[in-house]
Structure 1
Amino acid sequence: MRISVPSSMRATAGSASASATALAAAMNMKQQPHGASTLFALLSLALLLLRLLLRLRLAAFRDAALSLHLLARLRLRPVLLRLHDGGGGASATTLRVWCPATPSSKPPLLLLHGFGGDAKWTWARNLPRLSRHFHVYAPDLVFFGAQSRSASPLRSVAFQARCAAEAMRLLGVTRYDVAGISYGGFVAYRMAAAEASDAVGRLVIMTTGVAATPGEMRAMAAREDRTVEEALLPDTAEGLRFLVRRSMHRPPPWMPDFVLDDFIQLMYVDQKRERAELLHELLKNGSGFDPLPVLTQETLIIWGDKDQVFPVDLGHRLHRLLGERSRLEIVRDAGHALQLEGADHVNRFIKSFLLDERIGPGAGAGVGRK
């Protein structure tokens, strides 16, 4: 399998090579007898290292490192599928899915990401642990990532659900569990209720406002001091910094502009118009159900108690709707990016729910403690 390196990384590599050559030359200078000369040499080295760091596209480097980790360590490979998506037969839709390279007896698990990134970035802290216990499938949803594209005019959650279900059918997986976070949770719920109801065994919903009405979702969006596109599809470092701080209870303390700008170019530029249309469709029609149906599948609901995007009350509301066939787990001191901030809890809850436990009468809410 060939992994193509972006031209921006090739250019970076050239700059890094030139800087490294200069660095090697500086390190091989004859030792100077005077302390001033030594200090000057150390300052020169520091400046060269800083120049090398600033020229390096850290987000692109991290993206390539994630791909290599999935390929080499987790034995997951990217497969590009052409779908029959129900868009009238004339539209071309392709979906990239990270899936196991070899067969196994592990139970299949479909992971659906949200708006914050593609499959690799969203599940970076979950795939290593979950792939030990599950035959994991992690698609880039349509209009996310570089290769999941469609000529279809459809932007509904139902369209995304049909595409994910069709991808699993093409991969030969007839029965599987599904876990979705945020927007991916809307798609997962839709699959379990309609588009793949016969294929979905059990369901995991994380920080997903599926129980909110479209009117409530529009009201939540209106309370922000920026449009929904500006909030979820940032085009400036300040905008991305706002999104990170809204999504995480404990955001990184250091987020320099050049790193954020690089991540924007990697994640939010391509197919931005289509994703904005997905957002407006979500605010207009939600999951597409009115009223929201009660699922027949056993369902695990996981929420961060500091979620600023979808308040934890929506998790309790969904738990009440689904009743005794559901379980609610709340992770303390975690925000909307629950799979990152509460990764250990999320991994443990998913494994326990899908492999070890069944929900019965009396099952109730739990709290993951740090």
Structure 2
Amino acid sequence: MGFAVSLINAMFRRAFTSAGLRPHSAVVDDDGTTLHFWAHRSLLPSSKNGAAAAGGSKETTTRRPVVVLVHGFGPDPTWQWGVQVGPLSRHFDLVVPTLLFFGASATRAAARSDAFQAAAVAALLTGGAHLPGLNGADGKRRLVHVVGTSYGGLVARHLARALDGRAETAVGKVVLCDADLAKGPDDDAALAAKGGVAEVTELMAPADGKALRRLMALCVHRPPKFIPECLVRDLLRKYFADKREEKIQLIKGIITEQDDSQLNSPLPQEVLIIWGEFDQIFPVEKAHKVKEILGEKATLKIIPNTGHLAHQEDPKMFNDILLKFLLPSVVASDAK
């Protein structure tokens, strides 16, 4: 890994550890599906926690709600959620899974859909031994909020349904960030044309530096004027070339309304939709469509002067909106 990528990676990992999160992994099914994840140390098995999970600690007894952060395509979840974990960890215990075929997470199963991704995360959350702190000695269920961005928002939709009604969890609220739940073949064709490629997979799973630069330019409202070639090359090698064929299969495996007529029925939970005003991956008009299909329990917030990565382009406003939704009494200063 190049020096610049290594430095950025270390910075974001430090943000996670400073927020009380620790890396771990778990096999969640009989197909050898292994998820790498970060979780607050009070949620992990005592062998990974030492005294922190031995019982009687303030963290374990306060029984804070849990927020699950689901990432999209791109670098590790530490990069994608690095500016959220600090403010969120003041109020919640966090679980940040690495989705299958990103980083160290993988499976022998043939399934490649976003619903299968959600099933793997649901198994992690309800497996008991993986995150024993979710249930606790008093037998009470933790309240679990689900937050997903882009592809992770599609996974979050399935995860919210998979967890709803499960005895092991009590699902609170759902947050979907720049996630086009109504995406179809026409949207893929339009995005491919915008990126100057024949297939959307060539853009979202870039094979060379030129394609990665196209993707980066589309993801943010004000892309940097100059990105060193060495940084692009290192990003491509570390985060995009790895398991590229599997990632192409993930894109092709996204479930659409043509596959499941009930896919876009309203979720049972209260939902917040957050969108970048100038999103070029999923244009802002799709935000209103998502609000329409999710119904009365859905609220839409648009962040001005941001693109597809609104949570990274304006983290202060994003975090403020997110915290006010999850904690209605929270003050804006907590979002910094």
User: How high is the TM-score relative to the length of structure 1?
Assistant: 0.75
222 and 268 in structure 1: CA distance in 2 versus 1, 3 angstrom threshold: closer
Aligned equivalent of 1:101: 41
User: Quick one: distance in 2 between partners of 1:251 and 1:286?
Assistant: 33
1:116-138 deviation digits (Å, cap 9, x = unpaired): 22210111111121112211111
Offset at residue 215 of structure 1 (A) = 3.1
Q: CA deviation at 1:100?
A: 0.6
What is the alpha-carbon distance in structure 1 between the residues aligned to residue 285 and residue 164 of structure 2? 26
**Structure 1 residue aligned with 2:126, among 169, 178, 195?**
169
In 2, Cα distance between equivalents of 1:83 and 1:74: 25
Q: Does 1:139 align with 2:97?
A: yes
Inter-partner Cα distance in structure 2 for 1:337 and 1:286? 25
Higher relative contact order (CA 8 A, sep 6+): 2
CA RMSD in angstroms, aligned pairs only: 1.9
Instruction: Indicate conservation of the 8 Å contact 2:20/2:89, yes or no.
Output: no
Q: How far 1:345 moved relative to its partner?
A: 1.4
- How far apart, in 2, do the equivalents of 1:288 and 1:347 lie? 34
Letter in 1 for 2:12: L
Match of 2:151 among 164, 183, 192: 183
- Which amino acid is 1:160 matched to? Q
Matched, 1:129 2:74: no
What does residue 160 of structure 2 align with?
192
Partners of 1:118 and 1:285 in 2: CA distance: 26
User: What is residue 185 of structure 2 aligned with on the other side?
Assistant: 215
Confirm or deny that 1:205 pairs with 2:150.
Answer: no
1:330 maps to which residue?
A: 302
* Map of 2:55 onto structure 1: none
Deviations 1:146-186 (A, max 9, x none): x1111111001110010011111131435400000000000
Task: Output the CA distance in 2 between the equivalents of 1:92 and 1:113.
Answer: 22
Q: Distance in 2 between matches of 1:275 and 1:321?
A: 28
Describe how 1:33-52 pairs up with structure 2 within 5 A: none
Structure 2 Cα separation of the partners of residues 160 and 334 of structure 1: 28
Distance in 2 between the 1:344 and 1:286 partners? 34
Q: Is the 8 A contact 1:180 1:205 kept in 2?
A: yes
* AA of the residue aligned to 1:312: V
Aligned-pair identity (%): 31
| Alpha-carbon shift at residue 286 of structure 1 (Å) | 6.5
SS of 1:278 mapped into structure 2: helix
Deviation of residue 192 (structure 1)?
1.7
SS at match of 2:327: helix
Is the partner of 1:179 in helix, strand or coil?
Answer: strand
The amino acid that maps onto 2:3 is: R
Q: Distance in 1 between matches of 2:189 and 2:245?
A: 23
Quote the Cα distance in structure 2 between the aligned partners of 1:115 and 1:149.
15
Structure 2's unaligned 5+ residue stretches are 43-58, 135-140, 330-336
SS of the residue 2:317 aligns to: helix
User: Which residue number in structure 2 is paired with residue 63 of structure 1?
Assistant: 9
Instruction: Give the whole-Å Cα distance in 2 for the aligned partners of 1:229 and 1:215.
Output: 12
Given the alignment, which residue of 277, 282, 285 partners 2:256?
Answer: 285
CA deviation vs aligned residue, 1:63-119 (integer Å, no higher than 9, x gap): 133223422x222101101111xxxx3x21100111011345331000000012221
Distance in 1 between the 2:231 and 2:123 partners? 36
Residue 318 of structure 1: SS of its match in structure 2? helix
Matched, 1:356 2:323: no
**CA radius of gyration, larger in:** 1
- 285 and 323 in structure 1: CA distance in 2 versus 1, 3 angstrom threshold: closer
CA distance in 2, matches of 1:353, 1:129: 14
Distance 1:286 1:275, change over 3 A: farther
| Amino acid paired to 1:262 | D
